[in-house]
Structure formats: C-alpha cells, structure tokens
Structure 1
Amino acid sequence: MSDETFSLIGIYGGTFDPVHFGHLRVAEELIGILQLDEIRFVPAGNPRLRNEPIASQHHRKIMLYEAIRDNKKFFLDDRELRRSGESYSVESLRELKEEFKGKKVAFCFIIGIDAFLKLPNWHLWRELFGLSHLVIVNRPGHISFEHQACLPPKLQEACSDRWTDDVNALKHVSSGFVFTAVTTLLDISSTTIRAYIAAEKSARYLLPDNVLNYIGTHHVYTRENENR
C-alpha cells in the first residue's frame, strides 16, 4: 500500500424499479462503515443481464431523485440513462476515473452478493478490479460466504489476494480490494412493490412516501401504464 490517502466515493448501480428502503438503508449504513464522502446512485439504462425495467427511464430517474434529494451525501448519476445501447458498469467506472483524474479519489463499487457470484458473466468483469474496490453487500435469502471455497472458480482465482476487512486499506490504494460489508438486511424487493401496486394493495412503509405518491400520481406500475 502507498502512503497516499484517497477519499472514497461509493458507486451504487441498479434498475431502482422502484427504489425502496432496502436500497436506501444499505447506502446509509455504507456511508458510515466505509467513511464514504458520497454515494452516487447510477440507475441502469438497458442492463444486459437483467430483464428490461418496467418503469420508463424517466420515471425511474425522478423516483430516485425524490428518494435521495434530502440526503447531502447521496447523488443521482444518470450517465447510463443518457448512454445509448446496453449499460455496462465498466464503462461508467472508466468515465468516472477519467472525470476524477488527478484527484485523490478511490471508487467503491457496491454490489449485492447474488450479483457478485455472477460477476464472471459481466462484460469485461476483470477490469472492475483495476477501476474500483468492490464492496459486497449480502441480501435477504442468500447465505453469506465465509471463505473463498464458496465462490465460482473464476471468481475465486480473481479475488484470491484481494480480500480485506480493513476499511483503511481502501483509502491507501486506488482500486483492487474486495470488502464484505455487514448491513441491516431489509427483505424488500422492487418486484414485490410492483406486484402490490398492480394489485391495488398498500406498498406504504416499503419505500419513501414521496416516491409512492409519485407512482400513484403518474400511474406507474398499474397494468395499463407499465413502461410508459
């Protein structure tokens, strides 16, 4: 490790279809655990390995803005919504690296354990280690792994010398570490919220009231208005 000290910025991608308290609580806790200067929420435009989002890009962007606007350390980064074609995390991290060139900043790419275990399916996935640290967050219903033997072989090999449980280590190297974060796990899913709304059931207390109000006002996720 070098004697340099880097400020840490979290990069939190996802479809956020819609954003909910599970997303927000993880982000809030990671600010404290990792001593992040900020977290950038990066909604996916057209994710290659996931189904097309139900809500339009416009709706997802506004819902996310409404959810995070009162937190001074949360920022909306819509670069993937503005990009044509499929969304690749490696491209977003490349752009961010270039934008912060010359600044003492290291990026922490936040990823759920389910997505992490499928990382070898991602576009140019090995490049992620040269662009950021990876911060793995467990999710409800998934068994946490305690050692590398639980990983797929390609991932085990790629991560073998990258694990750390030292937050300070992340601040002294610009990229390359893999850190597992223990956070409060809220068993909330966007899929469940969409199903509740489509069935005219209450989704209150699963997501912020202003987001729920926006969904109701604009008829997002009602069957006749899906993806408009």
Structure 2
Amino acid sequence: MSDDPFSLIGIYGGTFDPVHFGHLRVAEELVEILQLDEVHFLPAGRPRLRNEPVASQHHRKVMLHEAIRDNRRFFLDDRELRRSEESYSVESLRELRDEFIGEKVAFCFIIGVDAFLKLPDWHLWRELFELSHLVIVNRPGHISVMNQACLPPKLRDACLDRWTDDVNALRRVSSGFVFTAVTTLLDISSTTIRTYIAAGKSARYLLPDNVLNYIGTHHVYTRKNENR
C-alpha cells in the first residue's frame, strides 16, 4: 500500500437557508486549518430531523452558487436537492466514495456541535465513521465538545478512541477520526436573516451582497408564493 498521504476534501452539509458569512468563514478557515484541497457544499433537500427549509430548493441552490462562485476551492454539490425522498448524509457519503474510488481521498464531514450532539438520532450514524472523518465546529451559544463527559453515552462510546488533535492523522487513513476545529464564531444565523428580511429590516453585512440582491430581486422570504 502506498505511503502517500490522502488528499482531504471537506463535505459541508446544511440547509443554507440562506447561506451567510458564518458558513463561509468556517469553510475558509477549515481550508487553512486542515489544508483541504476542496470543500463541497451539500445543501439538504428534505432534512429528516429539522423543519422544512423556507426557501425553495432552487433558490437555495442559486444563492449558494452565488456565494461560493469566486472561490476556487469551493464547490456546490446538489445531489440531495435532486432527491425526492428525505436527505441522508450517509447516502451522500456512500455515493461520493463510489465516485472517488481509485483515488487516495479522505472526506472530512463538517458538522456543527449542535448537530454532532444529536448524531445518534441520524440514519445509520455509525457508518459515518467508516466513510469519513468528522470535523466538529463550535457554534455560538452551544457548548463545546472539549469536555467529552457532556456527550450522550452512545456518542461518547462511539468516539472514545477516535479523537485526534493531529491534522496529519487525517491524511494517514481514509476515515474514522473525530477532529474539533477552532474557528471564528460569527454569531449569525439564517433564522435571524430571514426574520430581518420578512420584517423589512436590513440584513446587509450578514451575507454576501450578491446573495442579498438575489433575495431582494426574487422576494425570497417575503412572499410565500415566490419562494417556490
């Protein structure tokens, strides 16, 4: 087996309803922290464990494309938007594994600490460790996972021998590690942005101007019938 290190590709899921500077800054910093070759943004179609997104799949896809189009390391993966059924991260990672078969690539599945704490509720969640490394990013207003005693017992046991603070460890194997990344915590939420826009307040400087312009032009988050 070759001793060459694995290339690292970040997989960043979420509803991105809408995408904002908090999302983008995390991705940018992870490129530097982990030396990621690419970050694939994976917008959820019909998430199983959270409310249906407010904006349509089309609008969320276009807004995300607008937000990342000038970054050569950022890519949009719309596979979950194209599914008619509920979105499962494990299925997307399986598909990506098949697509990159024969290439020495390790996926880093990027997950907020709030979602990570609920991981045992996910579909076939233990399989995620076989398909990727997990990269946890803290979220404003949420507890840190530095204290592993706070984790749900099932999750704590599953991660017991997987924690690493060595970036190079992620390049030595194709999957299985859990890495906590320290990134800038921009206290911005998609919910707040939607609330501002619906109330006619300014959301400027919370998200890219081209995304905000798109929202205004297409009346996203202001007229229900135009969000479809």
The question of a shared fold, defined as TM-score above 0.5 by the shorter chain, is answered with yes
Q: Give the 3-state SS of the residue equivalent to 1:149 in structure 2.
A: helix
- After TM superposition, give the deviation of residue 5 of structure 1 in Å: 1.0
CA contact (8 A) 1:54 1:226 kept: no
Match of 1:214 in 2: 214
- After TM superposition, give the deviation of residue 50 of structure 1 in Å: 0.7
Match of 1:106 in 2: 106
- After TM superposition, give the deviation of residue 39 of structure 1 in Å: 0.1
1:126 alignment partner AA: R
Structure 2: distance between partners of 1:124 and 1:226: 36
1:140 alignment partner AA: P
- After TM superposition, give the deviation of residue 223 of structure 1 in Å: 4.1
CA contact (8 A) 2:20 2:208 kept: yes
- After TM superposition, give the deviation of residue 143 of structure 1 in Å: 1.9
CA contact (8 A) 2:120 2:154 kept: yes
Task: Describe the superposition over 1:144-179 as per-residue Cα deviations: whole angstroms up to 9, x where unpaired.
Answer: 132321110000010000000000000000000000
2:48 alignment partner AA: R
1:65 alignment partner AA: H
Structure 1: distance between partners of 2:145 and 2:74: 29
Task: Describe the superposition over 1:105-147 as per-residue Cα deviations: whole angstroms up to 9, x where unpaired.
Answer: 0000000000000000000000000000000000000121323
Structure 1: distance between partners of 2:93 and 2:171: 17
Match of 2:74 in 1: 74
CA contact (8 A) 1:17 1:190 kept: yes
Q: Give the 3-state SS of the residue equivalent to 2:9 in structure 1.
A: strand
Match of 1:88 in 2: 88
Match of 1:145 in 2: 145
| 1:119 equivalenced with 2:119 (yes/no) | yes
Count of aligned residue pairs for this structure pair: 227
Structure 1: distance between partners of 2:149 and 2:60: 38
Structure 2: distance between partners of 1:3 and 1:120: 34
Match of 2:43 in 1: 43
Q: Unpaired runs of 5+ in structure 1?
A: none
Match of 2:178 in 1: 178
Match of 1:6 in 2: 6
1:159 alignment partner AA: C
Structure 2: distance between partners of 1:227 and 1:154: 39
Residue identity (%): 86
Q: Unpaired runs of 5+ in structure 2?
A: none
| 1:164 equivalenced with 2:164 (yes/no) | yes
Match of 1:97 in 2: 97
CA contact (8 A) 2:42 2:77 kept: yes
Q: From the superposition, tell whether residues 22 and 154 of structure 1 become closer, same or farther in structure 2 (CA, over 3 Å).
A: same
Q: Give the 3-state SS of the residue equivalent to 2:81 in structure 1.
A: helix
CA contact (8 A) 1:219 1:225 kept: no
2:144 alignment partner AA: S
Q: From the superposition, tell whether residues 183 and 58 of structure 1 become closer, same or farther in structure 2 (CA, over 3 Å).
A: same
Structure 1: distance between partners of 2:29 and 2:98: 28
TM-score by length of 1: 0.98
CA contact (8 A) 1:133 1:176 kept: yes
Structure 2: distance between partners of 1:208 and 1:181: 24
1:101 alignment partner AA: I
Structure 1: distance between partners of 2:34 and 2:101: 22
- After TM superposition, give the deviation of residue 54 of structure 1 in Å: 0.3
Structure 2: distance between partners of 1:162 and 1:226: 46
Query: What root-mean-square deviation, in Å, do the aligned CA atoms of Structure 1 and Structure 2 show?
Result: 1.0
CA contact (8 A) 2:112 2:138 kept: yes
Structure 1: distance between partners of 2:59 and 2:159: 37
Match of 1:32 in 2: 32
1:96 alignment partner AA: L
1:22 alignment partner AA: G
